[in-house]
């Protein structure tokens, strides 16, 4: 791989990371309900999550598994969970 290819890949990673951080910050507002939701005592209904955008659904999954110590490779989920700690 030559210098320009490596440099181009590095430059492309920065906007992707910034976009995922911005989406995470925006999703935090709509995630308030799910941060304190007791998934072990209440079942989710399809209507509860039907209107959630895909990014919020990913974060809800992150909340559920993150409570049990899962470490996520997805930068958006990881940034969101770290911001909540």
- Percentage of the chain modeled with pLDDT above 90: 0
| pLDDT at position 49 | 85
| pLDDT at position 84 | 80
Dig out the tokens for 51 from the structure. Answer: 């209107």
Dig out the tokens for 62 from the structure. Answer: 């992150």
Cα separation, 23 vs 71, in Å, equals 19
Cα separation, 77 vs 55, in Å, equals 9
Helix runs in the chain, H state only = 3-30, 32-35, 46-49, 54-66, 75-84
Cα separation, 6 vs 46, in Å, equals 44
| pLDDT at position 50 | 87
pLDDT 10s digits, 4-14: 455 444 555 55
pLDDT 10s digits, 52-85: 888 888 888 888 888 888 888 888 888 888 888 7
């Amino acid at each position: 791989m030559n210098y320009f290819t490596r440099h181009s890949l590095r430059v492309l990673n920065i906007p992707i990371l910034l976009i995922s951080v911005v989406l995470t910050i925006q999703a935090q507002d709509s995630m308030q309900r799910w941060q304190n939701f007791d998934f072990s005592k209440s079942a989710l209904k399809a209507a509860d999550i039907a209107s959630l955008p895909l990014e919020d659904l990913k974060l809800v999954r992150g909340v559920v598994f993150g409570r049990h110590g899962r470490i996520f490779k997805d930068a958006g989920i990881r940034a969101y969970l770290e911001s909540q700690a």
